[in-house]
Each structure stands twice: as structure tokens, then as C-alpha cells.
Structure 1
Amino acid sequence: MKISVTQHAIDAAISRFRVDRRIAEEWIRSGFRQARFVADIISEEGNPCRLFAGKHVTFILDAREDRVVTIYPSEVRALSVREKVESIINRELRKIERKESATVKRNHLSRLELNVERAACLLRAEKSRSQSVKLAMQARIAAIDEYLTQLNEDIEKIRHEKRKIAKAVAAYVV
């Protein structure tokens, strides 16, 4: 796989790993070749990314392109129990991935149903001449919008948890 390296990743290699600027890009590519895929994550900025780890370095790649966005050190703190901890963390990662996919699917269906109901309320409010019906429909639309926001927040909360677990897995991959 031919990867490109962002300037931010090169700067991170220089500052975090004390790599010479002239060889930083090749150092990142070389380290990435030995890295293992950990998980697809959503970055703190909300961008989809792929997390790889290997040789005490964590690599964050763009989800759509083979481009290293940033790197940072993976710290293994308990070497004697690393394998046990790694298996537990991997199990947790698989569990959160299943939870994420189930929640996304369930929320997607709920969103579709709520959008249909919202459209029906808009239509009813538009057709009606009664002010009380219009107010009731506006209230129902506001409630639907609030619930849609809550569904999105639930997914984001699970993705944040997945990102934390994926970073923990990366810390234990050598």
C-alpha cells in the first residue's frame, strides 16, 4: 500500500520521536509497514479515521485515502500482563463495535420513522386552518427534532467510547 504523509505527521515525528526532518517521512512509512490495523474510529474533530499501531507508535490514517494524518507514541505500561490486558481490551473493542453497529442501525430506522412522522405533522399543520392544530403540530415537530438530536448524541457518545478503547488497544500493540 502506497501511503502519503501529511506535514502534521512529519512534525509530530520530529517533535514526539526526535526524528531528523530529512528522514521523518521515510521513518513514518517504514514504521507504518510494520503496524497493525486496530479499528475505524471517529477523530475528536469528527472525521472518520483508521487507527494502526506497531513498534510503540500509533498511526492515524484518513478513512478515504491512504494518508497518515498524525502519529503519537503508544505507551505500554504493564509489560508482564500485556497479553492478558490486550485480549481483554480487544474483547471490549469488539463489544463496542457490535454496540455501535446495532445502535447506528436502530437509530437509523428510528430517524426514518421520525422523519416520516415529522413530514406528516408539517403537512397536517399546512392543511389545517385551526390555530390549535397548527400549534400542536409545531410542538410535536419540536419534540421530534429534539429526539432526533438525542439519537445523534447517543451515536456520538458510543463512537467516543470506541475511540478511547481503540487507543487503549493501540497502546498494547507492539
Structure 2
Amino acid sequence: MYYRWVTTIADHYRIPIQRYRCPSCGKTFSLLPNFIAPWQRFHTGLREKALRLRFEDGLSWREIARQVGKRNDASWVNVQLWGRRALALLALLSEILLRELSRWRPGMDATWLWHRGLDGIPGQWLRVMVLTEILRDIVEKKSAPSGKAARPFMAFLNLYLNNRGLAVWL
């Protein structure tokens, strides 16, 4: 076991990370919680808030850094890197989410989106948000007890896609 720092919007926390060794090959690996991505020290909820402020509210990177980085060290450069990474992944995520939705509900494809007006959503960000919400509703209704609070969408996607063998981290 080792410890790692995680930065949230309010504070810094030192959390334990469990290490395991593969019995067949001998390699070690760490089991990270779903609220932290590999090689990231910032909490997924903090990064999600920053991306929402940019893509939904249209704030500048510097203004976002002032809002989310008040009590931590998230600079506008960090925030801008999160945005660039998210933009690079949005088209891929849109395709993956459509494929996953059609796996859970046959018939949910590009035609299904078109009939519901979701193909006309401006921008990939909003499309990924809508597709994620639909998928999360389907998955969590099947697996989670009712009344349980939903995870932030980035934490849900990181966990869901990783469990499906798709190494896409937001």
C-alpha cells in the first residue's frame, strides 16, 4: 500500500492506494478509486466542474481556474489541459457511448438519436453528456439500489469504460 494526494475543490487529502501482484506474471498494479484518474492528482468532480464551466457556461480558462482553484493549486494551465484532453476524447466517447447504448437497448443508434432530436445537439460536449446520462440511468437502475446518489458523470464513465476494457480516462 502507498499513499497519494488528491486535490478537491476544498482541500487536499492523502488517500491510501492498494497495490496488488499478479500471481501469474508477477507484475504489480494499483487499484485506484473511480474519483481519481491515473496520473491525475485532481479529483474527478473538480475536473468535471471546470469542464462544465467552460463548455456549458463559456467561461475563460483563467476565470475557471479562479473559481475552482481558490483553495487548491489548479492553475489556468491545468484547467486548459483538462479541456484539451476532453475535446480530444469527445468524438471517440460519442461513438463508444452509442455502441454501449445499443448493447443495452438494441435500436438505440444514430437513427434513434435523430428521431429524438439528439443528433442536432450543438457541440460534442452536450451530446456526450446526454448519452452518458441515458447510459447511466440504464446501468444504475439495473445495478444500484434506489435512493443511492449518482456519481458525477466523469467518475461513472471512467469506471464503466474501464470495466468494459476501454482505457479512456477523462
Normalised by the size of structure 1, how large is the TM-score? Answer: 0.25
- Name the structure with the higher helix share: 1
Between 1 and 2, higher relative CO (CA 8 Å, sep ≥ 6) is seen in: 1
Q: Which has the higher strand share?
A: 1
Between Structure 1 and Structure 2, whose CA radius of gyration is higher?
A: 1
Q: TM-score, normalised by structure 2?
A: 0.25
